[in-house]
């Protein structure tokens, strides 16, 4: 069940990062709890990954146990306007399933990569939509067993949720959507997909939007106004298509991305007096 010194570059969208001391891909809640107990008994730190689409792993890798909940942990059900999806379900696929059942509310998610567990963790959103307001139940596990948060127990804000504060592993998310006209749902999804294809560098590896949006500002235009569009350090480059994305032009390293992120932060602070905070999760340690 456990792999040692597993190269995390294999499971991140950026394709960079050092190894995990231990790596597990449980396929059931029982296996997941067993993995958590394994870590607890050995005093290992736990890191949970989905599809690795919103993370940057440092070159030294991640100490302790990394648990991946992706296609190995993906089950979904629909009951009228309620969708329950396990953590490894692709967020975009859940939105398409909702459209198939003429359910509205997840159109914004159609082009968001990664699993619904990660989406919940980050309160993922786009185009004026986010997952938080749709949540009716969150199921999770610890080394001691299972637990649940109902809607009134689940707190969230911009790119933040209660799951970031608690030492739990989310196993499934229940969403309440609204019945609507399927043709209108699909038209909205196609419009959003066309806007993403036109504006985002989908042809290159990235981890999505690099920085959170500061109040009163838009990140991409600020970076472009600072003359940083197209700036490259090693194989990491500020996308010429959308300056809010940093892409892997080939053979990039974690250090390339970290240096480029730090450079952008310094320039934006100096020019606009704005502190840019990474939206991507930066994990692990340096070599």
So which residues are the catalytic ones?
Answer: 159, 209, 279
Q: What is the largest CA-CA distance in the chain?
A: 53
Query: 24: which strand partners?
Result: 2, 67
Neighbours of 15 (CB within 10 A): 16
The answer to whether 287 and 59 have CB atoms below 8 angstroms apart is: yes
Neighbours of 280 (CB within 10 A): 22
Task: Name the nearest CA neighbour of 252 among 57, 114, 5.
Answer: 57
- Which region holds residue 76: left if phi is over 0, alpha if psi is between -120 and 50, else beta? beta
Residue 248, SS3 per DSSP: strand
Residue 119, SS3 per DSSP: helix
Query: 49: which strand partners?
Result: 68
Indicate the angle between helix axes 91-100 and 182-199, nearest 10 degrees. 150
């Amino acid at each position: 069940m456990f792999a040692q010194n597993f190269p995390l570059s294999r499971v991140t969208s950026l394709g960079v990062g050092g190894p995990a001391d231990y790596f597990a891909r449980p396929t059931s809640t029982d296996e997941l709890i067993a993995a958590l107990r394994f870590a607890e008994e050995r005093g290992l730190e736990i890191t949970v990954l989905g599809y690795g689409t919103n993370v940057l792993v440092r070159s030294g890798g991640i100490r302790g146990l990394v648990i991946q909940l992706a296609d190995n942990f993906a089950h979904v059900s629909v009951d009228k306007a309620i969708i329950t999806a396990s953590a490894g379900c692709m967020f975009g696929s859940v939105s398409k399933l909702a459209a198939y059942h003429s359910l509205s509310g997840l159109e914004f998610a159609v082009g968001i990569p990664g699993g619904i567990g990660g989406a919940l963790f980050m309160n993922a959103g786009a185009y004026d939509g986010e997952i938080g307001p749709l949540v009716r139940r969150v199921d999770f596990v610890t080394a001691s067993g299972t637990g649940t948060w109902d809607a009134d127990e689940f707190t969230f804000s911009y790119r933040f949720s209660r799951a970031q504060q608690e030492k739990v592993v989310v196993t499934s998310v229940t969403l309440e959507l609204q019945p609507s006209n399927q043709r209108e749902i699909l038209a909205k999804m196609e419009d959003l997909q066309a806007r993403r294809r036109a504006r985002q560098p989908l042809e290159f590896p990235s981890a999505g939007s690099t920085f959170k949006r500061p109040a009163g500002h838009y990140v991409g235009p600020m970076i472009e106004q600072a003359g940083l569009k197209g700036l490259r350090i090693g194989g990491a480059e500020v996308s010429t298509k959308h300056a809010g994305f940093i892409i892997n032009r080939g053979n990039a390293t974690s250090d390339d991305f970290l240096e480029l992120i730090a450079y952008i932060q310094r320039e934006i602070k100096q020019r606009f007096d704005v502190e840019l905070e990474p939206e991507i999760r930066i994990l692990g340690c340096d070599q």
